[in-house]
Amino acid sequence: MRKIPYPLIFIAFIAISLFSCLEKEPETIKIAISKTNDNYSSWVERNGENAVWVDLYGLHIDSALKILDNCDGLLVTGGEDVYPDYYGKISDTAKCGTFDRYRDSLELALIGHAFNINMPVFGVCRGLQILNVALGGTLIIDIPDDFDTIVIHRQKEWQNCYHDVTLDTTSQLFMISGVHSAQVNSNHHQGIDKLGNELIITSYAMDSLPESIQWKNNKGKGFLMAVQWHPERMDKIHPLAKNLAVEFLREATEYQKYK
């Protein structure tokens, strides 16, 4: 029987190894969600074929932080008002809606830890608001009472509540979406008053209310983006919905490589 030359065996081994690498399934990207529903989980799933998620709501905060360490991104979602004592407006509590003090504590802990480990963070609606508070900012307690506007930012039928936003063309949001302005779905009665430390505003509603934020200087920091609208409820291909999820998941993929 004729022997196969050793160099050919070596070459065949390398070729098989390379082929195996090419066929290897992509790594699973795990997104921690501060409190989820079907809209948020679907937004993650449909924009990343290898993306999975874990809901941290209801866990002991120490347990949630341990799970976060094994994740690749943090999604901070919409919901109740942030308790106003966190930003120095306790006297205006009566003008707020409902509170969830456990959720406030959970999300502030998650945000702080995510920042410490440079994990990508994305915020939606309340998520934007608590991120602003976490970085030393304050909130408008009630837009209809405290902010002179004709723009409707919230109504009972939230499915029909849309308004225009205009983007800062120097922002990461503009680079990701490629749009100067667009209509977005809105459902909030609070918003940014004093901007948090190290942040910049990247879009505004027509009444000059801030609608999104990012780091002013992201050097040495993880990805951060937050929007006041609800991308998870918008058209699946809307550039201010789909593009944002795709970029967040891309950042999570990069984070996983180097964490």
Report pLDDT digits (tens) over 37-62: 999 999 999 999 899 999 999 999 99
Is 1 inside any structural domain? no
The whole domain housing 123 covers 29-258
Is 203 inside any structural domain? yes
Q: How confident is the model at residue 21 (pLDDT cuts 50, 70, 90)?
A: very low
Q: How far apart are CA 4 and CA 221, in angstroms?
A: 54
Helix (H, G, I), strand (E, B) or coil at 183: strand
Look up 230 and say whether it is catalytic: yes
Is 9 inside any structural domain? no
Helix (H, G, I), strand (E, B) or coil at 141: coil
CATH code assigned at 92 = 3.40.50.880
For the chain, the domain total comes to 1
Is 39 inside any structural domain? yes
Look up 161 and say whether it is catalytic: no
Rounded to the nearest 5°, which phi and psi values hold at 100? -140, 90
Residue 218 has what pLDDT?
Answer: 95
Retrieve residue 142's tokens.
Answer: 């009630």
Average pLDDT (96-115) is 96
Q: How confident is the model at residue 91 (pLDDT cuts 50, 70, 90)?
A: very high
Degrees (nearest 5) of the Cα angle 121, 55, 210?
35
Average pLDDT (95-104) is 94
Retrieve residue 223's tokens.
Answer: 């990805």
Residue 159 has what pLDDT?
Answer: 67
Residue 11 has what pLDDT?
Answer: 56
**Please, which residues bridge with residue 121 across strands?**
74, 224
Is 56 inside any structural domain? yes
Higher confidence at residue 27 or residue 81? 81
Degrees (nearest 5) of the Cα angle 122, 233, 55?
50
Retrieve residue 96's tokens.
Answer: 């707020």
Is 13 inside any structural domain? no
Residue 97 has what pLDDT?
Answer: 87
Please tell me which residue in 230, 238, 247, 251 is annotated as part of the active site: 230
Is 4 inside any structural domain? no
Please tell me which residue in 211, 232, 247, 251 is annotated as part of the active site: 232
Is 76 inside any structural domain? yes
Average pLDDT (210-226) is 97
Average pLDDT (14-40) is 76
Residue 150 has what pLDDT?
Answer: 81
Please tell me which residue in 71, 125, 189, 211 is annotated as part of the active site: 125
Average pLDDT (85-97) is 92
